[in-house]
Amino acid sequence: AQKVTQAQTEISVVEKEDVTLDCVYETRDTTYYLFWYKQPPSGELVFLIRRNSFDEQNEISGRYSWNFQKSTSSFNFTITASQVVDSAVYFCALSEVKAAGNKLTFGGGTRVLVKP
Amino acid sequence: KAGVTQTPRYLIKTRGQQVTLSCSPISGHRSVSWYQQTPGQGLQFLFEYFSETQRNKGNFPGRFSGRQFSNSRSEMNVSTLELGDSALYLCASSLAGTLANYGYTFGSGTRLTVV
């Protein structure tokens, strides 16, 4: 069975500080996808990144960066120089690839509060 | 390009009633998934529809059902509502075919309150 663990339930930082969100996953599949989503107060899940299990390259997108380490089953997310607009709940998710259909297994989420 | 549209945004129902929620996926997307989000259980997968067929199902009672139409629009139905069904119901649209995963775009959700 798949499982995603986000050990940090809430992180509070002051604007311009860096913040790293941890994500650890479990799966028996060799082919899978990992995702990060942002959920602002409006409720919609906003897609941030998708990474397949064969691509361990780290990725940077503006102030966002992701560190995928298959050896430790982790897919951590860092926000550099945080801003108030980064305040939201962030979810890490895992998806298998199966002919019978796909589904996302979500972690419990990490609430990030950026104070001015 | 229009996003995923869910209607209604908010709904208040009485225990024992039934409810139908609607989701219109992104044009060209044939896969629609539904998720329930509650403070206690987090985000949980309900079911996925692809080309009008339910392809995958989560661990929810039979009171939760869904369908997909030929234009890929999907509805989910909850019968005999219970207080615990109060949640944010999110729909996700995907290009996903078989043995592929192109990611998911979510709608803004329907917030259901059961009183």
- The residue among B59, B101, B108 with the most chain A CBs within 10 A of its CB, best to mutate, is B101
pLDDT value of residue A55? 85
Phi, then psi, of A70 in degrees rounded to 5: -65, -35
Q: To the nearest whole percent, how much of chain A has pLDDT over 90?
A: 72
Helix (H, G, I), strand (E, B) or coil at B28: coil
Average pLDDT over residues B60-64: 97
Residue in A91, A94, A95, A86 with CA at minimum distance from that of residue A110: A91
Please return the burial class of A1, using the count of CB atoms within 10 Å of its CB with bins 0-12, 13-18 and 19+.
Answer: exposed
pLDDT value of residue B97? 60
Which of A100, A103, A108 is nearest residue B42 as measured by Cβ atoms? A108
Write down the residue that tokens 């929810």 correspond to: B60
Q: Which strand (E) or helix (H) includes residue B83? A: none
Which of A97, A99, A104 is nearest residue B45 as measured by Cβ atoms? A104
Q: What is the pLDDT of residues A28-64, one digit of tens each?
A: 988 899 999 999 988 899 999 988 898 888 888 899 9
Q: Is the pLDDT of residue A116 over 60?
A: yes
pLDDT value of residue A99? 61
pLDDT value of residue B87? 98
Choice between A69 and B98, residue whose per-residue pLDDT is larger = A69
Chain A residues within an 8 Å CB radius of B90: 43, 45
d(CA B107, CA B33): 11
* C-beta separation of A67 from A83 below 8 A: no
Looking at the DSSP bridge assignments, the partners of residue B91 are B34
Residue in A78, A28, A76, A33 with CA at minimum distance from that of residue A55: A33
A74, B76, B77 from A110: Cα distances, Å: 15, 28, 30
